[in-house]
Amino acid sequence: ACSGEYDEMMYEKPKRWVLKSPLHIGHVSELAEVFPDAVVVWMHRPCKSSVPSWASLTRAVDDLIEDDVQDLKSLGQEVLRYTRWSVKRAIDALDDLEAKGSGVTAHHVKYNELIDDPKEQVRRLYDSIGLEFTDEYSKLLDAYLAKDKAERSK
């Protein structure tokens, strides 16, 4: 059962929800039912890196809850199968939502471009979804990126 904290959180000032897992992209139609004005930002990452990364995460979770060692070839095939299914389902859902004139909008960001120039990609995203990219936000983003770079270089 949900606690009252969840209900209170839902009705506080509006917040942005961020769903970052690859599991979410296959459920755009369900997302649209609950959030009819959702802004979907779809990060496109090369399959050569995203599928192995997802498989590694899946294996790490499985290792925590399963006693048996999972066959890595089978795991890779299952992750690839799920990736294909979820991408196709997302494309179909976004096409359907657009045809129906729903309030859901989709914006596509290439992972490599985000890594190469994160600030510019965030600026472009903000522009495309109608958010103001203020000087204050620019400074906050600069500070975050500097801190992240320092943490990653340790």
pTM of the predicted model, to two decimals? 0.77
Q: Are 104 and 36 in contact (CB under 8 A)?
A: yes
- Computed from CA positions of residues 4, 41, 37, 21, in that sequence, does the dihedral angle turn out positive or negative? negative
How far is it between the farthest Cα atoms of the chain?
53
The reported pLDDT for the residue numbered 23 is: 81
Residues in the chain, how many? 154
Tens-place pLDDT, residues 8-61: 655 665 667 777 777 888 999 999 998 899 999 999 998 888 888 888 988 888
3-state secondary structure of 44: strand
